[in-house]
Amino acid sequence: MLNVKISELELKTPIILASGILGVSQYTLRNVIEAGAGAVTTKSIGPRPRKGYKNPSIFELLPETFINSVGLANPGIDEFVNIISNLKQYKFPLIVSIFGDTEQSYIEVGKKAEQAGCDAIELNISCPHAEVSSIGISPSLTKSLVEKVCKEISIPILIKLNPNVTDITKIALAAEKGGADAVVAINTMAAMAIDINVRRPILSHGSGGLSGRSIHPIAVKKVYDLYKELSIPIIGCGGVFNFEDVVEFFLAGASAVQIGTALYKGVDVIAQINKDLKNYLEKNDYNNISDLTGLAHQYKTQEVSDY
């Protein structure tokens, strides 16, 4: 009833751990799966260790809405391959998020992750407080990177899309033409918060990315727009806290969803969402959650008429 398929990835539930702060510990990732996630995405891993930005790097700006600027802190792929290998014993779909400073470095990191045993690669081309965002705002750079990565890597390639662009569909279509197997929409929104008493930005880096409840309607709109243009699956991401948020993403056109910010309350939220999703599907006589994908597009929006 909750099982979905994204390219070659077979998930028992449509809930995927989003790339972020929970994605570097093998024990944490295992706990997320045990709580009911269908797959997990690691924190973005680069070609070498990176400390990231100093604290404060994350701040709850509004209820269930955070602003963060971690700065892609990670142990580097050469260290992380051991974690990937260890995670394979648990036999769940493992997506490794990667980034690089050149196209070749993306390829090298991706190949090492693939060789270590991961099931898919998510290309981070959209982090709003790091250099990789420059790729995700350009259709030509996106297509070029995806093409080159797809030639060297045989497992599914997912693209994390940048919402801080004029037209996200152009970037997504470029990724699709380059050979991407799916897109993830969306990454965090570029944002800033300033402390009026000390008269400086709250985050040490200054600007950061907004995540959580406040960006959910934006993410739904992006997924809705993408569904009209793409033929590859869309994974909705942004402000998933309950089953209603998941259903909304599916109706807009998603084939799965990622969850991140809500996990600050604990991983039990995943089990509750899955339980409520089953109840919703049974109550509305749907056999599988995939039956909901894109149904909102059957509704015709009202046109402006002349008097």
The residues annotated with a catalytic role in the active site are 127
DSSP letter string over 107-151? HHHHHHHHHHT-SEEEEE---TTSGGGGTTT-HHHHHHHHHHHHH
Give the position of tokens 């409520």: 276
Can you say whether the dihedral through the CA atoms of 136, 187, 81, 232 is positive or negative? Answer: negative
Output the CA–CA distances (angstroms, integers) from residue 88 to 81, 117, 169, 250, in the order listed.
Answer: 11, 7, 35, 29
Task: For residue 177, count other CB atoms closer than 10 A to its CB.
Answer: 13
Task: For residue 201, count other CB atoms closer than 10 A to its CB.
Answer: 17
Can you say whether the dihedral through the CA atoms of 284, 289, 291, 292 is positive or negative? Answer: positive
Tokens, residue 14: 């449509």
